[in-house]
Amino acid sequence: MDKFQKVISTGVPLPNEDIDTDQIIPARFLKATSREGFGDNLFRDWRYHQDNSPKADFVLNNETYKGEILVAGRNFGCGSSREHAAWSLHDYGFRVVVSSFFADIFKGNALNNGLLPVQVTDDFLSGLTSAIVADPKTEITVDLVNQKISYLGLSETFEVNAYKKECLIHGYDDIDFLINLKSEIEAYETSSIVV
Amino acid sequence: MGKTLFEKVWSAHVVKELDGGMDVLYIDRHLIHEVTSPQAFSELEKRGLSLFRKEKMVATPDHNIPTKNQHLPIKEALSRHQVDTLLANCAKHKVELYGLGHPFQGIVHVIGPELGITLPGRTMVCGDSHTSTHGAFGAIAFGIGTSQVAQVMASQCLLQSRPKTMRITVNGGLKPGVLAKDIILYIIAQLTAAGGTGYFIEYAGSTIESLSMEARMTICNMSIEMGARGGMIAPDQSTFDYIEGREFAPKGEAFDKAVAYWKTLHSDQEAIFDKEYTFDADDIEPMITYGTNPGMGIKITKEVPLSLGKGSQESFNKSLAYMGFKPGESLLGKPINHVFIGSCTNSRIEDLRIVADYVKGKRKAANVTAMIVPGSKQVEQQAISEGLDQILSAAGFELREPGCSACLGMNEDKVPAGEYCVSTSNRNFEGRQGPGARTLLASPLVAAVTAIEGKIVDITKHLN
Ligand code: SF4
């Protein structure tokens, strides 16, 4: 996993609420057996017509908005457990998703893939979205070490699990941690009461 | 202080508590399928690791398979490759596999319970969010992402923060025509699609206790549609009776010993939940969804609301525009051309019986394409042995072979763009059943009546 400490970038506004994993990456694009290349189909049905021509009014097709930070509406990532949703956002080039509420499984999947979910208040989110729309060049700083997001002199702190934060900063993951617990896991197995 | 059912099962699986509120949680059973496992196997191989406990895994292809002519090679190259990759990985790593044509093949969440793999008190995971289904047996069961699939493969454990607990109590007798699906659609409409986020739900109360295991699975299945990590129901005599004699269930003395333990798995009277809701079964009527998330549900006879209490009007309007509905209008009389009965929510034998019982001696409306897809090979065989296949085909329904089918628009089975489909599945997201498809979630009974009438009706006026 890539190391993550700080991202300074412009943002891409997508203020829809309840953006579900079927919008992020529709099921018919989950047929690959590797992790790469999912960015091409990120938001596929919002981004392209059925004849594969781009939909001009969708934000990813709008040259004005660019950057590594997706600024989305409330309850982002609800629906399926498909990690392909996190892969496709990351593969497209996003490193951060900002929302005022995230679905659980998506949040976990994102953290396992070097994509940082930043949960802010509804007010901060609407302020940030308006600022980007007013000036697409607005610079946003996401500082994981200090758990702070800021733009135009406004800032807010965000929560992140302490263990996950360490993992992101150093670029290591849960497998590294778990396989080192082998003897404790084996001891648990011999004592477990569950059949 | 008393403990909740959830706390009892969770704490029995904590291998180690870490600072910062994370637990190393032991996983008793791991189900895998073709879509979310290949990258996990590759990850393991990349790191030179082997499966830690392969005997605790079971694999089956379900999402990306055709539901017709399963004895023939899969036509679509990418799908075939994905299924072949599962077969190759299972052969290489010696994982128990129920491939196409195997008498145990089916949707992961249907086969786990029917094979006696799902047991009270177990922890179970799968790279699929509807793993919550297995909670109906008093197991802690939840969906995970592919990185976590690899973690469980490598260590049989997961790092998890402990969710908060919620209890949803439903009391009283159900009205005619009201099924488990209506109960859960009603609850989600009350709590919204995000109302359960951060929680693990226990369903309780006299209504829940009176339900069959199949119906309890339908309820727990859709816990994730409120954003909850999972749902569970305390095991009772119905649970034990269902499990007894199943393929992998404990037998004889081991079964008796297990039951004695399972009987301790209930929330203590003094147990405290972080959140509680109580509903009255009398308020629940046949339900249908009108929007693009499962929280957008109404009683079938009621009008589409003018707005959602919470949430932005813009998102609400966008959702209705996608569905082609107007605020304040009634759905009664809307012509429906597609009916899908299937998915891990409603594809068990009881669901097929409900449909067959209603359509017996009737004929589907001419405008309707009605597909009924059993959740597993065992369900299919049972349906045939009961003669349900005859009843269904006489009514003009097509009985397919088992799989996820039109639940997710991944395999060959899709709903055409712009068309309405009354579906017994669990998600009505934009494009879920195919690009542009418009899904209305409902119970198998509502689906059956819709297929016969060719439009949405007040089903209580059509009961046999
Ligand atoms: S039937 Fe639908 S919801 Fe269930 S496992 Fe298959 S795709 Fe997922």
Phi, psi at B222, each rounded to 5°: -90, 10
Question: β-strands B164-171, B275-280: how paired?
Answer: parallel
HSE value, Cβ hemisphere, 13 Å, CA-based, for B86: 28
- Report chain A residues whose CB lies below 8 A from the CB of B39: 33-35, 83
* Digit-coded pLDDT (tens) for B246-278: 999 999 999 999 999 999 999 999 999 999 999
Question: β-strands A140-143, A116-119: how paired?
Answer: unpaired
Contact A33 B145 (CB under 8 A): no
Q: Kindly report the protein residue whose alpha carbon is nearest to atom 1 of ligand 1.
A: B343
Residue A9: which of A116, A158, A169 has the closest Cα? A116
Say if the ipTM goes beyond 0.90: yes
Residue in chain A closest to B295 (alpha carbons) equals A18
Which of B343, B412, B415 to mutate for ligand 1's pocket (most ligand atoms within 8 Å of CB)? B343
pLDDT of res. A195:
65
Band of the pLDDT at B434, cuts 50, 70, 90?
very high
Average pLDDT for chain B: 97
* Digit-coded pLDDT (tens) for B133-162: 999 999 999 999 999 999 999 999 999 999
Residue B408: which of A87, A20, A34 has the closest Cα? A20
pLDDT of res. A172:
86
Contact A188 B15 (CB under 8 A): yes
- Ligand 1: atom nearest CA of B343 is 1
Band of the pLDDT at B459, cuts 50, 70, 90?
very high
Asked whether B442 lines ligand 1 (CB < 6 A), one says no
Which pair of tokens denotes residue A130? Answer: 């308006």
pLDDT of res. B107:
98
pLDDT of res. A83:
95
CA distance B365 to chain A (A): 30
**Cβ within 8 Å of A, B 49-108:** 49, 52, 63-64, 78-79, 81-82, 85
Q: Could you say which residues of chain A have pLDDT below 50? A: none
CA of B404 relative to ligand 1 center, distance in Å: 5
Cα dihedral: A11, A14, A19, A23 (round 10) = -90
- Report chain A residues whose CB lies below 8 A from the CB of B227: 75, 78, 103-104
Q: In the predicted model, is pLDDT for residue B24 greater than 70?
A: yes
Residue in chain A closest to B317 (alpha carbons) equals A16
Asked whether B110 lines ligand 1 (CB < 6 A), one says no
Q: In the predicted model, is pLDDT for residue B217 greater than 70?
A: yes
A108 touches chain B (CB under 8 A): yes
- Report chain A residues whose CB lies below 8 A from the CB of B226: none
For B200, residues 6+ apart whose C-beta sits below 8 A from its C-beta are B6, B140, B163, B164, B165, B166, B228, B229, B230, B231, B232
Q: What angle do CA A158, A161, A162 make, to 5 degrees?
A: 105
Phi, psi at B229, each rounded to 5°: -65, -35
Contact B317, B403 (CB under 8 A): no
Q: In the predicted model, is pLDDT for residue B357 greater than 80?
A: yes
Nearest to A178 among B13, B79, B151 (CB): B151
What percent of chain B is modeled with pLDDT above 70? 100
Continuous H helices in A12-52: 21-24, 44-47
- Ligand 1: atom nearest CA of B129 is 8
Continuous H helices in B360-430: 377-385, 388-394
CA of B400 relative to ligand 1 center, distance in Å: 16
pLDDT of res. A194:
76
Continuous H helices in B35-142: 38-46, 77-93, 108-114
* Digit-coded pLDDT (tens) for A8-50: 999 999 999 999 999 999 999 999 999 999 999 999 999 999 9
Asked whether B408 lines ligand 1 (CB < 6 A), one says yes
Q: CA–CA separation, A84 vs A27, rounded Å?
A: 9
Residue A68: which of A41, A42, A98 has the closest Cα? A98
Residue B169: which of B231, B110, B118, B123 has the closest Cα? B231
